[in-house]
Structure 1
Amino acid sequence: MLCFANDLLLFCKVDAGSASMSKETLELFSDLSRLTENPAKSQIIFSVAAASATESILQLFGFHEGHLPLKYLGLPLVVSWLSMADCHPLLSKVDQQIANLIWATATPPRFGDDGDGRRPHTEGRRCDAVAFLLYLGGVAGPDLIWATATPSSPSAGSGGGGGDEVSAIVVDLGSHTCKAGYAGEDAPKAVFPSVVGSIDQMEIDDADNSDKNSGSAPESKSKGKRKLYVGSQDLGFRRDHMEVLSPTKDGIVVDWDMVENIWDHALRKCLLVDPKEHPMLLAEPCSNTQQQREKTAEIMFEKYQVPALFLAKNAVLTSFASGRATSLVVDCGGGSTTVAPVHDGYVLQKAVATSPIGGEFLTDCLLRSLEHKGISIKPRYAFKRKEIRPGEFQIVDLDFPNTTESYKLYCQRVIVGDIKECVCRAPDTPYDETSYSNIPMTPYELPDGQTIEIGADRFKIPDVLFNPSLVQTIPGMESFVETASSARGLPQMVIESINKCDVDIRRELFSSILLAGGTASMQQLKERLEKDLLEESPQAARVKVLASGNATERRFSVWIGGSILASLGSFQQMWFSKSDDSYGVADLENSMHALVE
């Protein structure tokens, strides 16, 4: 089976001359390709091209508007079984085209070249990697993109070679979950909570030594020493004195030790990779500061010794995931909601709007409301099922006095978060106590076997996103009333953000509102937001709220955008490496923005 990469346009300079040569090459292999349209990748390609070049390329391929079909973009595709006899003519074609085309037009990754930004000469070389894969009849993934377009060379981990011989890693550390995986794939390989379990070793040592009555403290009891636990499995196991803490606050890292432990878990335990061998694309919040960016680069280059790094704003990656360089991104995350306009690949910082009301806030609202109704949410560690007769079980409560409140709350949030996802939906109209008083109840079975029924709350809680003042009507949320009263609803945030942008791009932003984030998967949220915006926006505005029909794609939109971006051939020159003299903020900023200039 052959995965053949005729992704030549993406590896060239995105100009009409290079595109013409790429077209000739693609036609040589047209008998081996079964290709379909891919508007998303086409949009991203044109986001890095000048307007004149875009028009020339479209005309060259016979298109005067719209986007190029995948026929001329050429993603790697599994095509068919090849006999050994068929391999020789194909290899001859590949060799010929490499000599005639690739080195004349490609702009490959910076790391692994001859040191002056140019690729080595190809005379006398052969694509041994391609021959090996074909003769084995093996299945190759994204790695073959560069194997087919690059003569044999050492891997990135050995100090040389092409960029995609070892795939880039994409990591999105969100407020609720951390997502990590390989560039070019459809979804992250690792998804786990972005909170960390922490046990103060000094406190435990005090408890262990309380009966020893020793006069001096042992050396291991140094102030601040702690043990951290990362990942769903470690957090799912209850431990005495374990606090559950977040390494970020309002999107900004407040504990770098925790962040490093999360990165370690993602890279070494989940993906099982050596960071030294993989370029790293990290998603960052729109509010990230220069100091945070510089610290990130320092850790990546000094501790993990990554060969190359790129930092990209969450909103830009979400926009790229939908195939757009300009859009208004509404990211309903776990810790907050952010509305950010993206224009030609840039986040317009002055127009970014944020709200502390996110998915976790809604989960807490539902938890407090259920507790007020007398419904006890028992964490999974707090009971066990005892079989009293075949097929019949009894719930036995367990008592662990040294369990922290933060761990109990974490376990309760896991359960209530599932309730929210299963039964809650945004109301079609603003929530009114009278209108929803007789709403039918929806049952839900808790882990302890208790069946509860939820009525108006399944509409009231989601409506907090649109009307934050509803928080004052939810029992147990009194301490958050002041925070919620200063927050704005989603429609107001969208309109406020667009009004802060240039008049010339407002129309385009109104028609390209992208809904993303885990909370965006809630039923009817897209329809309700579009309805409210149509009522509150200017009459001349053509409001269009866009959201993937796949809940997984909405949840992972930032990561997917990074996966697309890091796998583009035209992006490979944008990696920022430690060998670029320094990793100061200004240099890193220039590297990130050069892609769309």
Structure 2
Amino acid sequence: MSSTNNSTNVYGGDEINAVVLDPGSYNTRLGYAGDDFPKVVVSSYYGIHENGNNKKNNKKLFGESIGVPRSNFDIKPIMKDSEIIDWDAATEQYSYYFNSILKIDFKEQPILITEPVWTDNKYRQKFVETFYETFSFPALYLAKAPTCVSFQQGRPNCLVVDLGHDSVSVTPVIDGICLLKNSMKTNYGGRFLDDQIKDLIKSKENLKVEGTYKIKSKTPVIYPNEAKYELRDLPENITESFDEFQKNKIWHEFKESVLEVPDRKLTTLNPKQAQSLKEFYSQDTYKRLFEFPTGQSLELGRERFELAESIFDPQITKFNDESLSKKYPPNSGELSIKSKYDDYRPLKRIRKAESNQSTPQPGNEETSESKSEVRGLSKLITHTLSSIDIDLRASVAHNIIVTGGVSLIPQLTERLYNELSNSNPGLKIRLHAVGNSSERVNQAWIGGSVLASLGTFHQMWVSKEEYEEAGPERILNQRFR
């Protein structure tokens, strides 16, 4: 790292080894800029052992160690909706991995941190101040996650469709800058699918679901035969949060191994067509078995397609459990992001009185009904495309990047391409989805790694002195874009 006589240091991209942090709702990723993959991928949860009334003695545990059953051991989330909700646990987790695994030299290595587009200035200010106060990094940079994805793909103009655990977001990126006013987000993501799976399994009588940690031995049987298994001897007072955390792993595995997106819509007003679709996806060729930790195997046919269809039509299935239903009120994806500096402004030009563009303008559909409309994935993307400046629309539609763990569900990109092509006949739709599953789920981190390792990126780092001198408003709105 080089320094000058000025009060602020200049960091040369080729001379330093920056740290990249990508906090997510399900997993958090840490590593060094320039690497192909993160060094650490850890759960965004922590375990805390309640040690009497003195909370200062309560030690937080992270990573694999939170999967070990203990008495009075609670599992709590650090993140929600890609935002930190437990700051003490977050800084303790980062500090643990910075010191014990990455062995960072804080005074010599700046850090790049990814963030979602919907964070407000108050949250961002707390984030930056917490990092400057807790750690001794010489400088940091907040990068929008969609910008990082666009760099990973080498596409400065694109539409980033991120299907994450807590949310599904659609963000246009122009010249590496996110168009905040055109971005959209719903909560019909991985957690929504997990809850639907949980609801389906609860509705099956005599289907026993126990966490893997409880099972000592089992005899494989096929449901509706009764489960035959033996439980382990476990510590007393296993908490409900620990048991729920272990069961969530089952829903996650179920989602990854069983779900498949149908190649056509399952919802239709024609009763005959609806019946034929039901029979088609109930054929033996479409059936799959899923074995639960108790040894019971459940055969699923049409249900596994209906669950996956909820990504495109969130209202296709109704929750039997009212408490789960209340978690997902109707969501149209509209975001209210306010910033004085946020968006691309097109060059002044002479416009024709009429346009031949086939994609409808959003103004035509913005009625009081559409505000409460539930938008699935295809509608979300189509609405975003229609809201973008007409000069950018074609290039963005040609560079739609699909990322996030939920996007790995089989046949999702094929179905998405067909629906977008049908609903946007005037645009040439082109989807880009990385084939490597590890790369797909770590795409934002990899983009941050590419960005922070560029030699020209040295001018982007913001030191604590510069932050205090220029003030948070100027730094957050003009530097961290």
Distance between the aligned counterparts of 2:256 and 2:127, measured in 1? 33
1:434 aligns with 2:278: yes
What amino acid is aligned across from residue 318 of structure 1 in structure 2?
A: V
1:425 aligns with 2:315: no
What amino acid is aligned across from residue 476 of structure 1 in structure 2?
A: D
Distance between the aligned counterparts of 1:476 and 1:317, measured in 2? 38
Distance between the aligned counterparts of 1:353 and 1:569, measured in 2? 33
The 5 A counterparts of 1:176-575 are 176-201=26-51, 204-205=52-53, 220=54, 226-231=58-63, 233-374=64-205, 375-385=207-217, 395-398=230-233, 402-431=237-266, 434-435=278-279, 436-439=281-284, 440-472=286-318, 474-476=319-321, 479-480=324-325, 483=328, 485-486=330-331, 487-537=374-424, 539-575=425-461
TM-score normalized by the length of structure 1: 0.65
What amino acid is aligned across from residue 475 of structure 1 in structure 2?
A: N
Alpha-carbon contact 2:259-2:409 (below 8 Å) kept: yes
Large movers: runs of 4+ above 6 Å: none
TM-score normalized by the length of structure 2: 0.80
Question: Where does residue 590 of structure 1 map in the other structure?
Answer: 478
Moved more, 515-524 or 291-300: 291-300
Distance between the aligned counterparts of 1:509 and 1:272, measured in 2? 41
Question: Where does residue 77 of structure 1 map in the other structure?
Answer: none
Write the deviation string for residues 82-105 of structure 1: whole angstroms up to 9, x where unpaired. Answer: xxxxxxxxxxxxxxxxxxxxxxxx
Alpha-carbon contact 2:20-2:31 (below 8 Å) kept: yes
Q: CA deviation at 1:584?
A: 1.7
What amino acid is aligned across from residue 445 of structure 1 in structure 2?
A: E
Alpha-carbon contact 1:200-1:226 (below 8 Å) kept: yes
Distance between the aligned counterparts of 1:300 and 1:482, measured in 2? 32
- Paired residue secondary structure (2:128): helix
Runs of 5+ unmatched residues, structure 1? 1-110, 119-158, 206-219, 388-392
- Paired residue secondary structure (1:504): helix
Distance between the aligned counterparts of 1:547 and 1:478, measured in 2? 35
| Bigger Rg, structure 1 or 2 | 1
- Paired residue secondary structure (2:384): helix
Distance between the aligned counterparts of 1:427 and 1:515, measured in 2? 18
- Paired residue secondary structure (2:91): helix
Q: CA deviation at 1:477?
A: 6.1
Distance between the aligned counterparts of 1:477 and 1:494, measured in 2? 29
Distance between the aligned counterparts of 1:479 and 1:221, measured in 2? 32
Alpha-carbon contact 1:340-1:352 (below 8 Å) kept: yes
What amino acid is aligned across from residue 181 of structure 1 in structure 2?
A: G
Q: CA deviation at 1:254?
A: 2.3
What amino acid is aligned across from residue 178 of structure 1 in structure 2?
A: T
Q: CA deviation at 1:298?
A: 1.4
Distance between the aligned counterparts of 2:235 and 2:406, measured in 1? 33
What amino acid is aligned across from residue 423 of structure 1 in structure 2?
A: V
Alpha-carbon contact 2:148-2:446 (below 8 Å) kept: yes
What amino acid is aligned across from residue 452 of structure 1 in structure 2?
A: L
Write the deviation string for residues 359-390 of structure 1: whole angstroms up to 9, x where unpaired. Answer: 12212211221232242221122222399xxx
Write the deviation string for residues 179-217 of structure 1: whole angstroms up to 9, x where unpaired. Answer: 11111111111111112223444xx34xxxxxxxxxxxx
Question: Where does residue 113 of structure 1 map in the other structure?
Answer: 3
Q: CA deviation at 1:484?
A: 5.2
Distance between the aligned counterparts of 2:87 and 2:290, measured in 1? 39
Question: Where does residue 143 of structure 1 map in the other structure?
Answer: none
Distance between the aligned counterparts of 2:467 and 2:184, measured in 1? 36
Is the helix fraction higher in 1 or 2? 1
Number of aligned residue pairs: give it: 417
- Paired residue secondary structure (2:231): strand
Alpha-carbon contact 1:328-1:509 (below 8 Å) kept: yes
Q: CA deviation at 1:171?
A: 0.7
Alpha-carbon contact 2:46-2:76 (below 8 Å) kept: yes
What amino acid is aligned across from residue 39 of structure 2 in structure 1?
A: K
- Paired residue secondary structure (2:65): helix
Alpha-carbon contact 2:218-2:295 (below 8 Å) kept: no
- Paired residue secondary structure (1:170): strand
Distance between the aligned counterparts of 1:550 and 1:461, measured in 2? 24
What amino acid is aligned across from residue 37 of structure 2 in structure 1?
A: A
Alpha-carbon contact 2:169-2:183 (below 8 Å) kept: yes
Question: Where does residue 466 of structure 2 map in the other structure?
Answer: 580
Distance between the aligned counterparts of 2:255 and 2:55, measured in 1? 42
Q: 1:476 to 1:188 in 2, by over 3 A?
A: same
What amino acid is aligned across from residue 286 of structure 1 in structure 2?
A: V
If asked which structure has higher relative contact order (CA below 8 Å, sep 6+), I would say 2
The 5 A counterparts of 1:165-184 are 165-184=15-34
Question: Where does residue 349 of structure 2 map in the other structure?
Answer: none
Alpha-carbon contact 2:36-2:446 (below 8 Å) kept: yes
What amino acid is aligned across from residue 483 of structure 1 in structure 2?
A: Y
Runs of 5+ unmatched residues, structure 2? 220-227, 268-276, 332-373
Distance between the aligned counterparts of 2:55 and 2:402, measured in 1? 49
Alpha-carbon contact 1:471-1:481 (below 8 Å) kept: no
What amino acid is aligned across from residue 159 of structure 2 in structure 1?
A: L
Write the deviation string for residues 298-349 of structure 1: whole angstroms up to 9, x where unpaired. Answer: 1222211101101100111111111011111110001111111111111111
Distance between the aligned counterparts of 1:334 and 1:584, measured in 2? 30
Q: 1:481 to 1:303 in 2, by over 3 A?
A: closer
Q: Percent identity?
A: 32
What amino acid is aligned across from residue 164 of structure 2 in structure 1?
A: G
Q: CA deviation at 1:443?
A: 2.0
Write the deviation string for residues 48-101 of structure 1: whole angstroms up to 9, x where unpaired. Answer: xxxxxxxxxxxxxxxxxxxxxxxxxxxxxxxxxxxxxxxxxxxxxxxxxxxxxx
Q: 1:542 to 1:477 in 2, by over 3 A?
A: farther
Q: CA deviation at 1:227?
A: 3.4
